[in-house]
């Protein structure tokens, strides 16, 4: 179990150090800002949606390792998925990080989200992990007001 924990830790640190899709999409058709005052995490999510599918997604901002790694993995995993699938993924992810299960294994391609399982032991970190997802959902609906976890 501790080997697995170390592996998860390594994946999170890698995504924090080299965040994927960390850029601005100049001609994005959706965007939203998110803020977690508890930790100081701030990010902007950019989206290009074609039909019902996420054609491209990116983010930028600054935050702790958990929020940055979560945003990075999220962009990797949701690219190419339908809006409906993304909503379902977030539900499972939310269950996972709040220690209520979460069936990431049943969501092909999203198994990696399990690396955030340990977050459920640190309630204060749950908001760091879920901020990018809340912001993504806000981007779908073009929320003008920044999303705040408080």
Q: How far is the CB of 126 from Zn ion (least distance, A)?
A: 10
| Cα-based distances in Å from 108 to 25, 42, 55, 117, 137 | 26, 29, 18, 17, 20
If the CB atoms of residues 67 and 120 are measured against Zn ion, the closer one turns out to be 67
Q: How far is the CB of 28 from Zn ion (least distance, A)?
A: 24
Q: How far is the CB of 54 from Zn ion (least distance, A)?
A: 24
DSSP summary character for residue 30: E
If the CB atoms of residues 39 and 83 are measured against Zn ion, the closer one turns out to be 39
**Nearest CA to 67 among 140, 126, 11, 120?**
126
If the CB atoms of residues 119 and 138 are measured against Zn ion, the closer one turns out to be 119
Are 150 and 38 within 8 A, CB to CB? yes
Q: How far is the CB of 52 from Zn ion (least distance, A)?
A: 31
Q: What residues make contact with Zn ion under the rule CB under 5 A?
A: 39, 41, 64, 67, 128
Beta-carbon count within 10 A of 117 CB: 16
Q: How far is CA 81 from the centre of its chain?
A: 14
If the CB atoms of residues 43 and 77 are measured against Zn ion, the closer one turns out to be 43
């Amino acid at each position: 179990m501790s080997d697995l924990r170390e592996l998860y830790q390594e994946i999170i640190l890698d995504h924090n150090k080299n965040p994927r899709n960390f850029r601005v999409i100049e001609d994005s058709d959706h965007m939203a800002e998110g803020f977690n005052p508890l930790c100081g995490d701030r990010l902007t999510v950019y989206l290009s949606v074609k039909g019902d599918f996420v054609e491209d997604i990116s983010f930028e901002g600054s935050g702790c390792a958990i929020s940055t790694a979560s945003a990075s993995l999220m962009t990797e995993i949701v690219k190419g998925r339908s809006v409906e699938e993304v909503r379902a993924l977030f539900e499972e992810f939310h269950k996972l990080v709040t220690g209520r299960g979460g069936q990431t294994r049943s969501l092909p391609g999203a198994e990696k989200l399990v690396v955030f399982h340990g977050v459920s032991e640190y309630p204060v970190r749950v908001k760091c992990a879920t901020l990018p997802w809340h912001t993504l959902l806000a981007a779908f609906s073009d929320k003008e007001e920044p999303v705040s976890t408080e």
